[in-house]
Amino acid sequence: MKKILPLISLVCVLYIQTIAQETVQWRGAGRDGIYSETNLLKKWPEAGPQLLWHFDGLGEGHASPAVTGNRVYTAGILEGIGYLFCFDLAGKQLWKVAYGEEWTESWPGVRSTPLVSNGKIYQLSGFGKLVCRNAENGDFIWSVDVLKDYQGPNIKWGVTENLLIDGNKLFCTVGGTEANVIALNPNTGSLIWKSKGKGEVSAYGSPALIKLAKKHILVAQTANSILGIDTDNGALLWSHDQPNKYSVHANTPLYHDGYLYCVSGYGKGGVMLKVSDDGSSVQEVWRNTNIDNKMGGFVLVNGKIFGSDDAGKAWYCLDWKTGTNMYSEKITGRGNIIFADGMLYLYGDNGEVVLAEPLANSFKKISAFQVPFGADQHWAHLVIGNGRLYVRHGSSLMVYDIRSK
């Protein structure tokens, strides 16, 4: 018995350390909408999967949940103030803490999904206030007003960025002429470097990371450009033109096997760039305007790109290498998309959640249900964690059991 107790203690310590070191971010571990969950249902009951719990007091917001091994975090606006919420996996609210004034103007609601990393939680408001708190209890650690401190202008629909962390750097697209993109110390909020970029305002985007053998590159999008920035020192390595009607580039780019794909709405569509081996330059390979959704993202599965268009006419499948349309179908309303265990999960702006199988020549709609709670826009992206599907609709968070029995 004396030998067993230290072993149990060691296991508990290792578990706590693992949870503390966990990084949970926008659109999954790779920021690409791909979730590694397995043993999930391939077909739902007619009324949808079992609803395990729901919470209806989040307030206004489009922030997705951030789901760790033992916690669920999200954010919402109550009476003009932004709050971070923390729940256990059974839906019990553990804490709620205010982080400041939030966006209540055109299209009101929290824009950014919390970032959880190394025991800390980071939240960026629509007015550019970046707050770091203790992920266990919500205690304040530090905050920075990135627009005020780094002379960045706010934009028409408010700052919208799902933050990215890489080792000892936390990145934020300020949109200023001198401090266009910045890297902060995630422990203190102090400035590590600032990059002039192209001096363009921010564009509602969430950056991606390219990891090469000798270099890490931050891919950020500003009003008219795709930027490649050296994460070591903030040097602008390259830029590529990507303007659209409203300077909105809210989809996260995707790097895969030497190529970078970026999608913008309002008819602009997607562009594929070849990244040089050393990361110092890019070259345009192809463009396709069919997938041009504003903020629903896309997924890459088995050499195929899946996503919806802007006008809500269809969902498309494109060939990754050539950009060729492989097939399209009006499977549900335009919206966001993720992938797990061989299946596509679509969340249409008509409030329908769809389970679909991507076939060689078509989408196969397997199951669907209508979101029962919440109000306003269906903009929050779906999340899968611990065998559960998380659906945010306005003030409501719904959690469904999608594990195969």
pLDDT digits (tens, 9 = 90+) for 234-243: 999 999 999 9
Q: Is the pLDDT assigned to residue 14 strictly greater than 80?
A: no
Output the six-digit token pair for 362: 């078509």
**DSSP secondary structure string for all residues of 29-51:** TTTSSEE---SB-SS--TT-SEE
The stretch 261-285 carries a mean pLDDT of 97
Split at pLDDT 50, 70, 90, the class of 405 is: confident
Question: Amino acid letter at 247?
Answer: S
Q: What are the two backbone dihedrals, phi and then psi, of residue 5, each rounded to the nearest 5 degrees?
A: -60, -45
Output the six-digit token pair for 136: 């266990």
What is the average pLDDT value for the chain, to the nearest integer?
95
Given the candidates 2.40.128.630, 3.40.630.40, 3.90.1150.10, 2.60.40.2550, the CATH classification of the domain at 29-57+293-405 is 2.40.128.630
**Alpha-carbon distances, residue 276 vs 195, 210, 232, 354 (angstroms):** 21, 12, 18, 38
The stretch 294-301 carries a mean pLDDT of 98
The stretch 255-262 carries a mean pLDDT of 98
pLDDT of residue 3: 53
Integer Cα distance of 205 and 221 in angstroms: 6
The stretch 336-345 carries a mean pLDDT of 98
Tell me which DSSP letter residue 168 carries: T
What share of the chain in percent tops pLDDT 90? 94
Question: Which letter, b or e, does each residue of 112-150 get, where b requires 16 or more Cβ atoms within 10 Å of its Cβ?
Answer: bbbbbbeebbbbbbbbbbbbbbebbebeebbbbebbebb
Number of H helices, E strands in the chain: 2, 34
pLDDT digits (tens, 9 = 90+) for 69-104: 999 999 999 999 999 999 999 999 999 999 999 999
Q: Is 183 helix (H, G, I), strand (E, B) or coil?
A: strand
**Alpha-carbon distances, residue 315 vs 26, 42, 298 (angstroms):** 22, 20, 10
Q: Is the pLDDT assigned to residue 7 strictly greater than 60?
A: no
pLDDT of residue 99: 98
The stretch 189-198 carries a mean pLDDT of 98
What share of the chain in percent tops pLDDT 70? 95
Integer Cα distance of 94 and 139 in angstroms: 13
**Alpha-carbon distances, residue 340 vs 261, 343, 345, 382 (angstroms):** 20, 6, 8, 11
Integer Cα distance of 181 and 229 in angstroms: 9
Q: Is the pLDDT assigned to residue 29 strictly greater than 70?
A: yes
The stretch 378-398 carries a mean pLDDT of 98
Integer Cα distance of 402 and 390 in angstroms: 10
pLDDT digits (tens, 9 = 90+) for 97-150: 999 999 999 999 999 999 999 999 999 999 999 999 999 999 999 999 999 999
Q: Where are the domains positioned within the chain?
A: 29-57+293-405
